[in-house]
Amino acid sequence: MDGINFIQDLAVVLLAAGLAGVLCKRIGLSVIVGYLSAGMLIGPYTPPFSFITDVDRIQLLSQIGLVFLMFAIGLGLSLTKLGRMGMPTLLATGLGAFFILNLTQLLGHFVGWTPLQGLFVAAMFMVSSSAVIAKIIEELKLTHEASSQRALAITVLEDVVAVVMLTVLASQTQSSGGEANVGGLIATMSAFVVLLVGAGLLLVPRMFRRLEAKADPELQTIIVAGVLFLLALLAAKAGYSLALGAFLLGAIVAEMPQKNGVERSFAGMRDVFSSVFFVAIGMMIDVRLLLDVWPWILGLFFFVMIGRPLACGLALALCGSSPRDARRAGLLLTPLGEFSFIIAQLGVSTAVLPESYYPIAVGLSILTVLATPLINKHADSLLALAERLEPRWITRAMEAYHGWLKQLQSGQSSPLIWKLVRGRLVQIAVEALFASGLLIFSQQLLSALRDFGVGFEIDPLIIDYAFWGVIGLVVLVLLVALWRNIAAVSMLFAESAGGTGPLSAGMIDKGVRALAIIIIGYWLYLVLPIEELPVWGWLVIAAGGIGVAAVFSNRLIYWHSSWQSSVHDVFSAEPADARVNARLALDQGLSDWGLRLTDCIVPDKAAYAGQELTRLALHSRFNTSLVEIERNGHVITAIRPDLRVYPGDKLLLLGAENDLEAAQGFLAGERQVTADEDDGVSGTILETATMTNSPAADQTLAQLGVARATGARIVGIQRGEERILNPGGEHTLRNGDRLLVVGSLEELRTFRRWLKTGGTDQPTAA
């Protein structure tokens, strides 16, 4: 009977979501508003419309939806893309959380919160909703703007901040006011993430290759869904969120050639369960409790809507984003997410926060989710108003700081020693964290194996010996690799520093290695499960490990190199969605030019399918430029007039708002077809350049043949107050012109060289 009730609940949820979504689309609101409203209407707290009353089943629906949502977000933000976000994005996320923490503590001082209560409330405000922001970016067609990419990167990293804060807060409450080992907690979580990602990169690509060769798409989808729930479960069993495991699998799959097929297979489930998630969140809202605390909700709502954009915008600006991009991203980062509920629930359950704070968190989240789409629809007007109200000295200071950062970045060169050891240091950190995760969570793995062995009547002693033998071998491989990297870094450092003081290079090398041995010994003492074996057992294992390392060192090195090679193969196959991060290099937003980017898919029965671009004449008909074409997962950036378009091609168009709508209407036929949510369609980026004493000045574009010479295309010219969008061959370039150029990274580098020389010493590009 429970199964029938669950199916009934799922039917009610989907029908309510569909009807509410249609209604909100008609009146111009975000479908998220419709989903939340539908949940509030059919939930257990709104009689007589309480179609669903079982809170446990509501929680189950919410968790399933969250798993698929986070998997989809992980697919959109791969490990390569997260790596390319680099230190500025990590610093911006940390700085934003730091600013919000201090603003909230300042507020808590005036309203009478204790320090621990202020920490809980600040944690609620630190994290925005990845799912909501991704949906808003899709609906407002902001996918290709640098500010939206920054906002999405920040909100995904904020999920990591949420997990860290949950762990810290839980430890603070358990320590009964004592100081918890926050550094150890963060290190443990980092080890778990590296362990899960490392194991995933080792196993998942092999599994995908076998499935691709032997199984049909249906079985591949089923098995990937099984792995998805398994990794989410492992994250939960380790004491972290289901969302963390689901997101990490998505980020791993995003690195693989099969990513596009998996994304298409899961598109339907993503849409279904994203609606289920938001409706389930709405069903957990008790409207009557909201009415009792509405003054608090309203006051904190204004605090969040002002404080989060200011904190996140300032953090992004300090870390290198242009002031306008930083402010625009800050407006996107206002909706509070599901982690706010979890943090509030933890505070209430541990009696740190009063019971009223859970409805406060829910009400705040609802208001911010409702307000964010409306605010971002009018973002340009709000930003223009803010710029007019902002004191001139602040504007000049931010512009000067941003210009100084750009000058510093363009002229800075890293020391040679840092360039040589940087990669080795990253490998040392990853190998140490992987081994730490393996040892820290070994007891949980062993417990699961023992439970599994009971069903097959296997002697637990045999399981223990086999388990520790395998773990010991893997850790030994990592230790050998770790020592080789440490030895290489020590030698490079000694050669660099030797001879400049009283110490010789040999003495420095030996000193660094001795220090490394002490650190490794202390690290192993901290992470080894000492209580699992007697002291003599660990001494035997250590002696055996040293013997194996001495005799079979070459074999251990070979195994480690094989694993490194397989991981390198995954990352070297550049996925389509990783390339979009290059857009973060935009010097100016497209809004400065009155332009935007949009996607359009060629319908199956398009009348123009198979025709050459010269016959479509998009430039002359609609004043739009075709930037690139994505075909079967491959991106075509060399747009030639004789290139043909086919059904299923995804076209990336550049133009003004009205021109793009006209071009989309033509390309889509009777109905407008736009791309599904996809953060990574392009290897093409935009860049601005200024002509200064260029030999190419005073010549027309037709005479210069820019596209033939460099592969890049000039899509905008600004001359004083005059702007020429999508210029034709008859337009002339002049010194002082500000050019908007589109092309790949290599094409843009060629264009910059060409601009300085006028093409006199540049080879003609293919």
For residue 741, list its beta bridge partners: 687, 714
Share of the chain above pLDDT 70, in %: 76
- 94-142: per-residue pLDDT in tens? 899 889 989 998 999 888 888 888 888 998 998 887 767 877 777 777 7
Confidence band, pLDDT 50/70/90 cuts, at residue 678? very low
Least confident residue range of 27-36, 633-642, 670-679: 670-679
Between CA 668 and CA 680 the distance in angstroms is: 21
E strand or H helix that includes residue 650:
strand 650-655
Return d(Cα 170, Cα 86) in angstroms, integer.
30
Direct distance between the N- and C-terminal alpha carbons of the chain, in angstroms, rounded to an integer? 67
Backbone angle region of 679, left / alpha / beta, with phi > 0 → left and psi within -120 to 50 → alpha: alpha
pLDDT tens-place string over residues 51-75? 777 767 777 777 787 788 778 777 7
Radius of gyration, CA atoms only, the chain: 28
> For residue 636, what are the β-bridge partners?
629
pLDDT tier at 344, thresholds 50, 70, 90: confident
Contact between 52 and 58 (Cβ < 8 Å)? yes
SS (H, E, C) 218-260: HHHHHHHHHHHHHHHHHHHHCCCCHHHHHHHHHHHHCCCCCHH
Q: Give the three-state DSSP class for 386.
A: helix
> Whole-number mean pLDDT of the chain?
75
pLDDT tens, residue by residue, 568-595: 555 555 443 434 433 433 334 455 666 7
Element (H, E) at 688: strand 685-690
Q: How far is CA 724 from each of CA 693, 715, 719, 755, rounded to the nearest angstrom?
A: 21, 8, 8, 19
Same fold, 594-668 and 685-757: yes
Query: Does residue 762 surpass a pLDDT of 60?
Result: no
pLDDT of 472 above 70: yes
679 band by pLDDT with thresholds 50, 70 and 90: very low
Name the CATH topology of 594-668. Alpha-Beta Plaits (3.30.70)
Please report, as a single letter, which amino acid is at residue 596: R
Alpha-carbon distance of 698 to 694, in angstroms, equals 9
pLDDT surpassing 80 at residue 456? no
Position 591 scores a pLDDT of 57
- Predicted pLDDT at 541: 67
Contact 241, 559 (CB under 8 A): no
**Which residue is associated with the tokens 């949009």?**
598
Q: Cα separation of 749 and 710, whole Å?
A: 9
685-757: CATH topology is Alpha-Beta Plaits (3.30.70)
CB atoms inside a 10 Å sphere around CB 753: 12
Residues 6+ apart with CB under 8 A from 199: none
Find which of 36-45, 76-85, 279-288, 561-570 is predicted with most confidence, using mean pLDDT. Answer: 36-45
With 70 as the cut, is the pLDDT of residue 733 above it? yes
Closest CA to 265 of 308, 238, 228: 228
User: Which pLDDT does position 707 carry in this prediction?
Assistant: 79
Please say if the pLDDT value at position 757 is more than 50: yes
CB 702 within 8 A of CB 629: no
Residue 371 in tokens: 């307000």
pLDDT band per the 50, 70, 90 thresholds, residue 479 = confident
613 neighbors 641 (Cβ within 8 angstroms):
yes
Give the largest Cα separation in the chain, rounded. 86
**Mean pLDDT of the 702-726 span:** 81
Q: Is the pLDDT of residue 323 over 60?
A: yes
* pTM for this entry: 0.58
Considering only CA atoms, which of 305, 303, 289, 278 is closest in space to residue 363? Answer: 289
Separation CA 322–CA 327 (nearest Å) = 9
Question: Has residue 224 got a pLDDT over 60?
Answer: yes
266: its two tokens = 């899961």
Helix (H, G, I), strand (E, B) or coil at 450: helix
Q: What is the pLDDT of residues 409-452, one digit of tens each?
A: 655 555 666 666 777 787 788 778 788 877 777 777 777 777 76
Greatest mean pLDDT range, 191-200, 406-415, 512-521: 512-521
Confidence bin at 502 (pLDDT 50/70/90): low
Taking the mean position of all CA atoms in its chain, how far away is CA 370? Answer: 23
Say if residue 683's pLDDT is above 50: no
- Look at residues 679, 575, 656 and name the one whose alpha carbon lies nearest to residue 148: 679
Q: Any idea what the Cα angle at residue 215 is, between residues 220 and 559, rounded to 5°?
A: 80
**CA-CA distances (angstroms) from residue 574 to 81, 138, 210, 644, 750?**
10, 23, 20, 25, 22
Task: Tell me what the mean pLDDT of segment 623-641 comes to.
Answer: 76
Contact 347, 169 (CB under 8 A): yes
Residues near 340 by beta carbon (within 8 Å), at least 6 away in sequence: 124, 125, 127, 361, 364, 365
| Residue with token string 């820290």 | 440
Percent of the chain with pLDDT over 90: 3
Residue 303 pLDDT exceeds 90: yes
Give the domain ranges of the chain. 48-377, 416-551, 594-668, 685-757
Residue 208: is its pLDDT beyond 90?
no
Give me the pLDDT at residue 670, please. Answer: 41
pLDDT at 674 over 60: no
**Exposure string over 484-508, b if 16+ CB within 10 A, otherwise e:** bbbeebbbbbbebeeeeeeeebeeb
Is domain 48-377 in CATH 1.20.1530.20, yes or no? yes
Using the 8-state DSSP alphabet, how is residue 50 labeled? -
Query: Of the given ranges (164-178, 618-632, 682-696), which has the lowest mean pLDDT?
Result: 164-178
